[in-house]
Amino acid sequence: MKLLFRWEGALVIFLILELIFFGLMNPDFLNLTNLIFSMNDYVYIGLAAIPMTYVIITGGIDVSVGSTIGLTSIIIGVLWMNGLNVWLAVLIALLISACAGAVNGTVVATTNVQPLVVTLGTMFLFSGIALVISGGSSASGYEGISGFPDAFVQLANGETFGLPNPILFFFGIMIFFAVMLNLTRFGRQVFLVGINPKSARYSGIRVKSIIIWSYIIAGLGGGVSGLILTSYFSSARSDLGTEAVLPVITAVVLGGTSITGGKGTVVGTGIASIVIGMMQYGLQMMSMTSQETSVVIGFLLIIAVLLRLTNWGLLKKFHTKKAAVKEP
Amino acid sequence: MDDQLLHIRQIYKQFAGNPVLKGVDLTLYKGEVFAIVGGNGAGKSTLMKIITGLYRPDQGQMVVEGSEVLFHQPSDAHKHGIYLVPQEPLIFPNMTIRENVTIGLHENKAECARRIQHYLSVLGWNLDLNRRGLSLSIAEQQLVELLRGLIRNAKILILDEPTSTLTFSEINSLFSTIKKLTSEGLGVFYITHRLTEIFELADTVAVLRDGVISAKGPVRDFTYEKLLEGLMPEKIEVLAPQLERTEAKPSAGQHREPILSVKNLSGYRFQNISFDLYPGEILGIAGVVGAGRTELATSIFGLEPSNSGEIFLDRESIKKYSLRERINRGLVYVPEDRHQHGLFSIASLKMNITSTILPKFRSLFIPFKKEQDIAAQAINSLKVVTTGPSQFISNLSGGNQQKIVLSKYLETGPKVIILDEPTRGIDAGARGDIYKMIDDLKHTGLAVILISSDTEEIVQLSDRVLVMHEGRMTTTIAKEDLTIDSITTAAFGIQKELKTL
């Protein structure tokens, strides 16, 4: 556990260095209001990445999350356009995102097909459904459905206690999922299944059910992310989130979660998604194109993973040595 | 001596100070089927791994066709025409048979294909080379492994228990294949647990016991009795600390209700098993590797389905219950493979210990204080050497890891505990602790099923022993008749009059 805190500490230090670097390049960057409100642009990554941490800890992956974002968005739009109360539409859309997760989880848990393949399939499935729904209600994919009521738009554009709502959402969800992962029996079982699914089965843990619930949570994460994006742009589009998959998984891995499962923290994912977002924002302010930004982020991820792998062994040795000295 | 294919002289090998081979001599001639038998841990696998270059001997010489050799890796052995067909064939499921056979060969494809066809016609096999690995039965996979060896110009084939997963007709066709191959001048090492096969197939036999060859010679000079004699330990060395065993009270068991009752249970690799288990009793299950003991145990526990038969726990049929429900009702199975099925390696001791009792906490949140106390108490009572409940289990020694695995199942408060090879790969000290623990459990009224390949362990601990051979119960031996001899005889599937002393 100490090691994981070290990694989170390293991320925070990296975040501070990042702020200093961009501040030196462009003093406007450090304007506090700008900084905080810039988070609105990328908070959706964290909202999807935090629940995704659960899936990756169980040893799986969910690449369909981007499609779930678009699916949720278009369902909210279409239901509302057809006269439903917008909050009821939100509720139904979130339930459907959870169902999407349940589909992923059930297939992964009950077949031997790799999670990557399963969710790659459902990625096309969900975005296809989203397109069909969007086409069927004669809303063009690119313009989307707009004109939402003010209360709905304020969800992601309003402020509470002087802070933008999405940021409060972000921290709320981070705390909720961190508590669930580290303090509850469910969270413990997620870890045990990720460390060794066979031992978990031999210990009487309902492995399949834990896996299914993890995917439901990840699906719901995509749903919440889609909801906030829809409200933020005040426009429902089926192609929202198509580019979210890679940043989301990057945030989880950069946050210290092992892609092979068994290890990871929600707080790490949260910090890492801020690191990535700040990086995108800062590079944009240095007038880099989004393609150029991708190059830097990809590079960063590889370096981070390499660093983490090498450090781990060394720290472990150090840790055991220290422990051995402490206890004669 | 032109016919001599392989000659090994005075091979010694030890692992971590533990001698496994203590001076083995063997000679294999052209056209000979050389059978090697021995109990579990006699050194058969180690010997074969040395011959195929996976291990290097500590001492000794190997001569292949007159020239002395030293193998560094299996490909060196392949170059000298030695090929091992493993017990579980290694087939790439998504490749065709042709690709599976020629993998790693740099020769002309057409030439390879021609040679494969040649062997197929010589051996009279009908095999479509374009089929994929995953569509093959175990017997066909073995043929592919044989082809792999032949195409590499193997002169010496090593077959490691090739018949353990085959049906009778498949065995017959395998035997005729082996006979054809040897008539072409190949030499075959044949490792087996089935003594009948030796008399049917082999020309020469060697019995390996505790790292030495205890008997060797032409098969025609042997009888079952003589083979068995070679298999029995000369003198019983008790490596493990002796327990002061308090004798079970004569009334114990016999008049009470059985806690676990298995009736005509059949499943994958075991048939028609019936027994009763009483509280305060240790029932040993003996047999050679592959006798179906683990399969039986995992079926009782609910990990694997069983086909027919009934399991009663406390007079209640439990076949309909899930594994979790069986644990809740007091039946646990401590797995054989600690690393694969028992441990959560990158987790703390307490996380490991409480992994079986999470539902018992009932609350949404984990009661961390209580968890710490439970773990500390378990560590204390089992004398686990550790820095504390928060230490990672991967930093513990094998014996201590095994204690943690045991304690995680004991925390569930079982009535019946099935121990599968509880002392495999652990040192003598921890072994003594575990023996003591098993005996203590018995005296608190637990019913214990002890599966072990260590016959001495079985004799030392059990009140009654059920012996399995090829998935069937050969016999049940009562405490009075319990000897290493009686168990070994039954484990090799030989019906012999048991003399009651």
pLDDT of residue B74: 84
Q: Which residues contact residue A138 at a Cβ distance below 8 angstroms, ignoring those fewer than 6 apart? A: none
Please tell me which residue of chain A has the smallest CA distance to B407.
A203
More confident residue, B256 or A222: A222
- In sequence order, the β-bridge partners of residue B53 are none
Mean pLDDT within B263-287: 89
pLDDT in tens, B166-195: 666 777 778 888 888 888 888 999 988 777
Residue pair B383/B363 in contact (Cβ under 8 Å)? The answer is no
Q: Does the distance separating the beta carbons of B387 and A324 come in below 8 Å? A: yes
Mean pLDDT within B272-277: 89
Query: How many CB contacts within 8 angstroms connect chain A with chain B?
Result: 70
| Residues in chain B, total | 501
User: Going from the N-terminus, what domains does chain B have, and what CATH number goes with each?
Assistant: 4-231 (3.40.50.300), 253-330+414-426+435-495 (3.40.50.300), 337-413 (no CATH)
Q: Pick the range with the lowest mean pLDDT from A50-64, A208-222, B327-341.
A: B327-341
Judged on CB neighbours under 10 Å (0-12, 13-18, 19+), A98 is buried
- Angle (CA) A179-A210-B324 rounded to 5° is 115
Q: Could you tell me which of A88, A325, A109 has the C-alpha nearest to residue A205? A: A109
Q: Locate B124 and state its tokens.
A: 């009279």
What Å distances lie between residue A93 and A99, A166, B13, CA to CA?
A: 10, 19, 67
Q: Does the distance separating the beta carbons of A199 and B344 come in below 8 Å? A: yes
- Whether CATH 1.10.3470 fits A2-326: yes
Q: Does the distance separating the beta carbons of B395 and A203 come in below 8 Å? A: no
Residue B237 has pLDDT above 50, yes or no: no
Please report residues of A whose CB lies closer than 8 A to that of B344.
Answer: 192, 195-196, 199-200
Q: Does the distance separating the beta carbons of B303 and A196 come in below 8 Å? A: no
Q: Pick the range with the lowest mean pLDDT from A36-50, B120-134, B290-304, B458-472.
A: B120-134
**% pLDDT > 70, chain B:** 91
Residue pair A157/B335 in contact (Cβ under 8 Å)? The answer is no
Q: What does B436-471 look like in DSSP terms, one character per residue?
A: HHHHHHHHTT-EEEEE-S-HHHHHHH-SEEEEEETT
Helix or strand (DSSP H, E) at A129: helix A115-136
Angle, helices A32-57/A65-81, rounded to nearest 10 degrees: 110
Residue B240 has pLDDT above 50, yes or no: no
DSSP letter at B356 equals: G
More confident residue, A281 or A2: A281
Q: Does the distance separating the beta carbons of B303 and A201 come in below 8 Å? A: yes
Nearest to A192 among B333, B342, B344 (CB): B344
Residue B101 has pLDDT above 60, yes or no: yes
Residue B286 has pLDDT above 70, yes or no: yes
How far is the alpha carbon of B407 from chain A, nearest alpha carbon, in Å?
A: 12
- In sequence order, the β-bridge partners of residue B217 are B205
pLDDT of residue A73: 92
**Rounded Cα–Cα distance for residues B128 and B178 (Å):** 21
How many distinct helices (H) and strands (E) make up chain B?
Answer: 17, 20
Please report residues of B whose CB lies closer than 8 A to that of A263.
Answer: 346
| Residues in chain A, total | 328
Residue A22 has pLDDT above 90, yes or no: no
Give the pLDDT band of residue B250 (cuts 50, 70, 90).
very low
- In sequence order, the β-bridge partners of residue B273 are B265
pLDDT of residue A214: 95
Most B-contacting residue of A199, A201, A315, A325 (CB-CB within 10 A), to test interface: A199
Mean pLDDT within A165-182: 92
Most A-contacting residue of B301, B349, B355 (CB-CB within 10 A), to test interface: B355
Please report residues of A whose CB lies closer than 8 A to that of B365.
Answer: 183-185
pLDDT of residue A178: 93
Give the pLDDT band of residue A325 (cuts 50, 70, 90).
very low
Q: Does the distance separating the beta carbons of A327 and B387 come in below 8 Å? A: yes
Give the pLDDT band of residue B255 (cuts 50, 70, 90).
low
Q: Does the distance separating the beta carbons of A195 and B344 come in below 8 Å? A: yes
Q: Which residues contact residue B465 at a Cβ distance below 8 angstroms, ignoring those fewer than 6 apart? A: B283, B284, B285, B286, B458, B459, B476, B477, B482, B487
**Rounded Cα–Cα distance for residues B489 and B224 (Å):** 10
Nearest to B345 among A188, A195, A202 (CB): A195
More confident residue, B246 or A276: A276
How far is the alpha carbon of A221 from chain B, nearest alpha carbon, in Å?
A: 21
DSSP letter at B234 equals: S
**Rounded Cα–Cα distance for residues B362 and B368 (Å):** 13
Residue pair B35/B219 in contact (Cβ under 8 Å)? The answer is yes
Residue A32 has pLDDT above 60, yes or no: yes
pLDDT of residue A324: 46
Please tell me which residue of chain B has the smallest CA distance to A322.
B387
**Rounded Cα–Cα distance for residues B390 and B347 (Å):** 9
Amino acid at A140: S
pLDDT in tens, B341-372: 889 988 889 899 999 988 888 888 888 888 89
Residue B42 has pLDDT above 90, yes or no: no
Q: Pick the range with the lowest mean pLDDT from B372-386, B395-409, B420-434.
A: B420-434
pLDDT of residue A63: 92
- Angle (CA) B223-B224-B229 rounded to 5° is 100
Please tell me which residue of chain B has the smallest CA distance to A179.
B365
How high does pLDDT run on average in chain B? 82
pLDDT of residue A219: 94
pLDDT in tens, A106-157: 999 998 889 999 999 999 999 889 888 887 655 554 567 878 888 888 888 8
Q: Does the distance separating the beta carbons of A192 and B347 come in below 8 Å? A: yes
pLDDT of residue A187: 92
Q: Could you tell me which of A89, A118, A109, A120 has the C-alpha nearest to residue A223? A: A89
Residues of A with CB under 8 A from a CB of B: 183-185, 188-189, 191-192, 195-196, 198-206, 262-263, 320, 323-324, 326-327
Q: Does the distance separating the beta carbons of B395 and A188 come in below 8 Å? A: no
pLDDT of residue B486: 81
pLDDT of residue A323: 47
Q: Does the distance separating the beta carbons of A184 and B358 come in below 8 Å? A: no
How high does pLDDT run on average in chain A? 85
pLDDT of residue B167: 67
More confident residue, B313 or B432: B313
pLDDT of residue A316: 52
